Copies of this chain bind each other. A is one copy, B any other.
Amino acid sequence: MNARGETPLSRYVQILETVAAARTGLTLTEIGQQLDLRAPTVHRLAGSLKAIDLLAQIEGSKSYVLGRRLQLLLHSTLSLTDYSHLAKVILRELVDELGETVHLARLNGAVAESVLMVQPEGSNRAFVQPGRELPLHAAASGKAMLAFQSADFVDRYLAKPRARFTENTKVGKDEIRAELERVRTSGIAVCDNELDAGVLSYGHPVRVKGGYVLYSIGVTGLADRFRATPTEVVRAKLSHAAALLSKEFGSVE
């Protein structure tokens, strides 16, 4: 504890708070002015924060913004009930358009966690009730997130063995890498009988502030019926809803 009653830790936090409060990225000098810290000090502290992904530096700029790891941590403070007002309206609209169950999934460690589900009138099959954890390699909403994580994250995920749920589940490393590539190029993740038998679902990433993919939307239906809807229709509608959610989560600055 130094003269001002601060621990090293609390100064780190103050820097994060300062950056969070700013509308745009902040330079080292700006941070230093706000917190009354000398240039070398800010430089070192911000460097340490950046090294572990708590802060990030805007590409080709000197400005710092919050890092992916911090965003993840922050969003994990939201409880399941917190999402209702943020996102229910947007999901409801999707349900009305597609006639299938829609859910919002959140990246939580190495799994996708359903945080909100909206069902069409009359449906009673709970495909992905809030709280359910979905594997990143075998659920559409999971793939939609995994496909946009850092290479490092994907490597770590693939380093551990993955569960097989149906005969269609893709578990091989190369198989999954190819699948993720497909998600990135086509703009939509598909899960056809890979997790729950007889179920077809689509997933689309949702970006938060900083461009990180921390959420995804999933649409799930019985394969026999849902297959009738063209993939491109699903992609377009998911994409639109994702854009709205991104705005909600502060992705658009």
Contact = CB atoms under 8 A, between A and B. Distances in A.
A75 interface: yes
Contacts of A49: 9
**A interface, over-half SS:** helix
A77 B76 contact: no
B78 A77 contact: no
Interface residue range, chain A: 35 or more
Contacts of A77: 20, 66, 70-71, 74, 208-209, 250
A132 B70 CA distance: 24
Interface string A75-115: 11111111011100100000000000000000011100000
Contacts of A21: 76, 108-110
Contacts of A54: 13
Nearest to A5: B152
A78 B74 contact: yes
A52 B10 contact: yes
A17 interface: yes
A52 B252 CA distance: 31
A73 interface: yes
Across chains A and B, which 5 residue pairs bring their CB atoms closest together, nearest first?
A: A21-B109, A79-B250, A74-B74, A20-B76, A84-B85
26 contacts: A5-B152, A8-B8, A8-B9, A9-B9, A9-B49, A10-B52, A17-B76, A18-B109, A20-B76, A20-B109, A21-B110, A34-B109, A66-B77, A71-B77, A73-B74, A74-B74, A74-B77, A78-B250, A79-B209, A79-B249, A79-B251, A82-B209, A82-B250, A84-B86, A85-B85, A85-B89
